[in-house]
Amino acid sequence: MSLKSIVLTIVIMAVLSSMSHAFDPSPLQDICVAVDDSKAAVFVNGKICKDPMKVVADDFFFSGINMPGNTSNPVGSAVTNVNVNNLPGLNTLGISLARIDYAPYGLNPPHIHPRGTELITVIEGTLYAGFVLSNPGPNMKNRLFTKILKAGDVFVFPFGLIHFQLNIGKTKAVAISRLSSQNAGVITVANAVFGSEPPINPYVLTKAFQVDKKVVDYLQSQFWWDNN
């Protein structure tokens, strides 16, 4: 192989590698406080940026993460998000966090974050947490990794993989999660599959899950709770 071909191959591999490991873009200036008013815009990086001369300390401040979420719902959990939508100073910084409250035996249902890795720390209680790897190939099973987490324990859910947490204790539980995106997003698997609007064609789901149409009809008729 010629030197020119080798260099071209290295460049292509580098480009593909950077694409496959993409996260929020790096900041292009010190601050870029998100603002909805386009007339106040100066720069654009992620969201429209507030005029730096009009930025104040409150743009980087959020209060209330100490307040418990309401877990009186069908899944028994509540997520309090702190992201660019309620802390505009996070814009372009590639980070956010959330408080998760769990009632006894409450569940944060299987879900994914399409734009971020999640690192969770248990503050109170005992959680059964886990994630599932992506499809490995023909005739192979998706690997499941689980761990019992107690106060002070840390667990990571890799980028874009299905994961969950279940409070296995008789008392409430609390966790704090950090995410590698200013707005990591969330797709709750059951809600997306059975509670979409308009509904997914039942034939698709009966074929995918290999169940009777009555089962799919029942699941699509349920109210799917959003705990975020």
The token pair that represents 218 in the structure block: 């029942």
Q: Which residue ranges in the chain fall short of pLDDT 50?
A: 6-12, 14-20, 28, 43, 45
In a domain, 211, yes or no: yes
In a domain, 129, yes or no: no
In a domain, 107, yes or no: no
In a domain, 176, yes or no: no
CB atoms < 10 A from the CB of 167, how many? Answer: 27
Structural domain of residue 193, as residue ranges? 186-228
In a domain, 204, yes or no: yes
Residues 133, 142: Cα–Cα separation, whole Å: 6
Is the model's pTM score more than 0.85? no
Say what the pLDDT of residue 46 is: 56
Which tens digits make up the pLDDT trace of 3-58?
A: 555 444 444 454 444 444 555 666 545 667 777 766 655 545 457 788 889 999 99
In a domain, 37, yes or no: no
Total structural domains in the chain? 1
In a domain, 191, yes or no: yes
In a domain, 124, yes or no: no
The answer to whether 119 and 178 have CB atoms below 8 angstroms apart is: yes
Say what the pLDDT of residue 47 is: 72
| Cβ-Cβ contacts under 8 Å for 137 (sequence gap 6 or more) | none
The token pair that represents 139 in the structure block: 């005739």
